Amino acid sequence: MSWTDYRIAREKMVREQLIARGIMDERVIAAMREIPRHLFLDQEAGPQAYSDHAFPIGYSQTMSQPFTVAYLSECLELKGDERVLEIGTGSGYQAAVLSKLAGEVFTIERIGPLADKAAETIKALNIHNVRIKVGDGAQGWDSGVLFDRVLFTAAARSVSHELLMQLRDGGFLLGPVQREDGGQEIVKMIRKGSACTLKRLKECAFVPMMREGEMDARDIPINRERFRGG
């Protein structure tokens, strides 16, 4: 396919999968329209890169479907100057989209070859505000670095206190969590001092988060606040 063909496929993706399903943030739509999703997948994916489903990227990991990437990006409520931490770089596509929406993007990937490939693709696209490192995302970035948003893109059973404390006061963490009944849901955890408020957004299905050590949320004071969301 030519570059023009991919651009047409991307425009169709935006129109039929995002706008038609309720994505309204114009900056998110513009970012999804700009970033060439097919470059983050093997060449064999071709135009299917823009279809409405997730893609395997190796090591039992996947790239989320376009709507999920757009939905998470919209839920982050970014204005353009925020510092964002992403847990689970994967292909690097989500980080590339966020690079158009935030001031700085830090992203951690536990699997070295995935991190390397993501870094190569992002560099090839001349994106300069994304930093990638290999490590255990459960512990966050280096100590002393605070973030306005934290996004995790694999289903966690709990969230570590260390990760929560890397949020600025008033910032929030967003991502899928594993429920005790086996289901998953996307939640938003807003930091308020040393505690946080938990809001439940929607049902979801993500690959489980890989970790070196167990994440334990029992020592995190959480005010559980149920609400209906889309």
Domains, the chain, ranges and CATH? 54-225 (3.40.50.150)
Q: How confident is the model at residue 207 (pLDDT cuts 50, 70, 90)?
A: low
The model carries a pTM of 0.87
Residue with tokens 């690079």: 99
Report pLDDT digits (tens) over 40-73: 999 888 888 999 999 999 998 889 999 999 999 9
Q: How confident is the model at residue 14 (pLDDT cuts 50, 70, 90)?
A: very high
Structural tokens at position 145: 């670095």
Q: How confident is the model at residue 146 (pLDDT cuts 50, 70, 90)?
A: very high
Beta bridge partners of 173: 150, 189
Residues 6+ apart with CB under 8 A from 167: 146, 147, 148, 149, 150, 173, 191
Asked if 117 and 92 count as a contact pair (C-beta separation under 8 A), the reply is yes
Asked if 69 and 32 count as a contact pair (C-beta separation under 8 A), the reply is yes
Is 64 catalytic? The answer is: yes
Residues 6+ apart with CB under 8 A from 50: 6, 9, 10, 12, 13, 37, 38, 66
Task: Indicate which residue of 2, 60, 64, 91 is catalytic.
Answer: 64
224 has pLDDT over 60 = no
